[in-house]
Amino acid sequence: MRELLREEAGAFFDALDGPSPASIRFNPLKPARDGELPFRELFDGQVPWCERGAYLRERPSFTLDPLLHGGAYYVQEASSMFLDHVLRQLLHGPSRVLDLCAAPGGKSTLGIGLLAGESLWVANEVVASRAAVLKENVIKWGSERVVVTRADSSRFAALPGAFDLVIVDAPCSGEGMFRREDGRAVSGWSEGATRACEARQRRIARDAWECVAPGGYLVYSTCTYNPGENERVLEWIARLDGACPVAISHDFAGIAPGDSPLPCYRFYPHRTRGEGFFTGALRKDDGPRFALPSRQERLPRVALPAGVEALVRGSGDHARYLAGETAGIVPRAHAGFIHHLERRVGVLYKGCEVAETGGKMAHALALWAGLPRERVETREVGLETATRFLRKEEVRLDVPRGEWAIVAYRSVALGWVKGVGGRVNNYYPVEWRVRLG
């Protein structure tokens, strides 16, 4: 770092001894009651490169805030929110986007909110435990224009030209996270690990490049400082067929240029209010264009339970699906592609699950931003009842026997209860229940 930063090294090391800034990003699909933003009393300025990002003066107990579990905001490191600025320059019109290393979901939830109509976002994570967290965060965000997959990058390389934009937030040595208080980034670092990361990043980037469509983009990023994992990987990708560097125009103070003739961008904690981050983008000027097989299986017609059908009808152009005992919806314009993706890559979650065949409401339906809430019984609750609900404890609410109702806090839906005569059953997912507080 002293060689990389030279006269700025002292300021950099001093910054590592300071506290990490707290920052959150609001969900445009889920405004809280009366437009009141979460933690307004703690606001300490907007994140310059992300219009929905905000700094907080201190880090509250996010886990105990019902609005987090309802998907009203996401806790995200400020430097990585630069993707908001990047995507606003690169995404134009309906697009298919792949976030190849997506867990825990910060970049995917950010990007989903920027999609134009009839777009699709595919969020992938190869590690099973991290893929489960990704799926949870995507469901909470509330969009049906998303698919979650769990596959190695090589599986996507077999879909040449399938995506208009591919994001590779590559697994890295994590040097940009060294000042975080848990210390895991520091204890897990070694020089050998950085070399292993470089090799893995090139393999993932090569696979990602294969599935970028002609005229599409690859956005590469890490949360480390090592040039071997940053500029050298970006330069290696730039030597692949059809690669063209892309400059991201900006006038934000403190963002440093990368150590490369290619346009790329570095974030340092002594220069910007955030952690370490690196990114750059390339356009693909030629290559094969993806087309679905000419002989497509005819997708089966799926009948939804009557009460659910009334909630889905008229809320968008959706195709229905049945996965085991669970019915759901996906964007009709992408139904064929999603089916192809299931066969070639495998799908962990798609669109929005709405109900089980026995009539039980799906938790995802309560959190879906497209749900017409005026057609659903809703019980607005205070903080104490909301917390009990999220712990999957008994809550006292007046709901007619056999009726389903949404539990909401500050108008943000948290999940379902069902009246069973003088009390309600709490249908919050047991695997998501809050254990703190």
- Please report, for the domain that includes residue 134, its CATH number: 3.40.50.150
Residues 137 and 270 in one domain: yes
Query: 32 falls in which pLDDT band (50, 70, 90)?
Result: low
d(CA 346, CA 122): 12
Q: Where a domain ends, among 249, 284, 319? A: 284
- Answer yes or no: is pLDDT of 89 > 90: yes
Residues 254 and 311 in one domain: no
Please identify which of the residues 223, 244, 264, 352 carries the catalytic annotation.
223
The pLDDT, as a whole number, for residue 422 is 82
Residues 139 and 255 in one domain: yes
d(CA 14, CA 435): 36
The pair of three-digit structure tokens given for residue 272, joined into one six-digit string: 């910007």
Residues 40 and 161 in one domain: yes
Active site residue 223: yes
The pLDDT, as a whole number, for residue 30 is 87
User: For the chain, how many helices (H) and strands (E)?
Assistant: 14, 21
d(CA 363, CA 376): 14
Lowest mean pLDDT among 133-137, 271-275, 349-353, 421-425: 421-425
Query: 183 falls in which pLDDT band (50, 70, 90)?
Result: low
Residues 300 and 382 in one domain: no
Query: 329 falls in which pLDDT band (50, 70, 90)?
Result: very high
For the stretch 10-30, pLDDT in tens is: 999 999 998 999 999 999 998
The pair of three-digit structure tokens given for residue 175, joined into one six-digit string: 């040097």
Q: Where a domain ends, among 284, 307, 330? A: 284
Q: Where a domain ends, among 221, 252, 284? A: 284
For the stretch 285-304, pLDDT in tens is: 999 999 998 877 777 778 88
Residues 203 and 78 in one domain: yes
Residues 150 and 80 in one domain: yes
Calculate mean pLDDT across residues 359-365: 94
Q: Euclidean distance between the first and final Cα of the chain, in Å?
A: 41
The CATH code of the domain that includes 381 is 3.10.450.720
Residues 176 and 309 in one domain: no
Domain hosting 319: range is: 293-375
Residues 126 and 205 in one domain: yes
For the stretch 41-59, pLDDT in tens is: 999 999 999 999 999 999 9
The pLDDT, as a whole number, for residue 437 is 58
Residues 324 and 386 in one domain: no
The pLDDT, as a whole number, for residue 82 is 98
Our count of domains for the chain comes to 3
